[in-house]
Amino acid sequence: MRTIKIDSRLILATGNLGKLKELQALLAGSDIEIATLRDFPELKMPEETGRTFTENARIKARAVVAATGGWALSDDSGLVVNALGGAPGIYSARFAGIKASDAENNQKLLREMADIPDSRRQAAFVCVMVLAAPSGAEYVFSGRCEGRIARRAQGTKGFGYDPIFLPAPDYNVTMAQLSAAEKSAISHRGKALRECKNRLTP
């Protein structure tokens, strides 16, 4: 497997504080200099107009590369629920509205699934990461965490849909009840970033 040499700092192309915290923790200990969008306050991220996680991740990564001339790592992820035809999918962050809170998104999902039996509550967290270079080269990494939707929110850790997602098959607690280390070991984002990290060299 060919390594990817990062010849400048790596900019994490996300404004989501929950994602940023997880990415920084997973990259801790590497020799690669890490920057965030906070280091570029003038940078305005584009609207996510893609139709897939990959398209949206590319939009964000390319925007950061174009604005900074550096390497960028973007993440687009969400919850895919079988019984809802794959929804909320790429609209996970705004399922209950453009400025909806995590709690509002969770409550809407629980309402829509109120009559769905336990045998049909399968779901998965999906993550696609795009690593983009100033040269125009791009590398795509992905991760998936299977599970099911709980009947009610439980736990105060994590963010997003973590309080209503029960990882399968070995957990009877929600993602929001796991420690950060337990979550990163099984999460969609952890899997995608480890795949990426294993290729990087400063």
Predicted pLDDT of residue 172: 86
Low pLDDT (below 70) residues in the chain: 1, 202
Distance CA 7, CA 17 (A): 26
Selection from 7, 66, 68, 63 nearest residue 33 by Cα: 7
Predicted pLDDT of residue 109: 98
Global pTM? 0.91
CB 193 within 8 A of CB 28: no
102 is catalytic: no
Q: Which of 76, 102, 115, 162 is catalytic?
A: 76
Find all residues with CB under 8 Å of 41, minimum gap 6, and list them.
none
CA distances from 176 to 28, 58, 184 (A): 22, 28, 12
Distance CA 64, CA 85 (A): 32
Predicted pLDDT of residue 17: 81
Predicted pLDDT of residue 1: 64
Q: What CATH number should be reported for the domain holding residue 126? A: 3.90.950.10
Selection from 146, 152, 153 nearest residue 81 by Cα: 146
Find all residues with CB under 8 Å of 29, minimum gap 6, and list them.
none
Q: How many domains does the chain have?
A: 1
Distance CA 93, CA 78 (A): 7
State the residue range of the domain holding 52.
4-201
Distance CA 178, CA 156 (A): 9
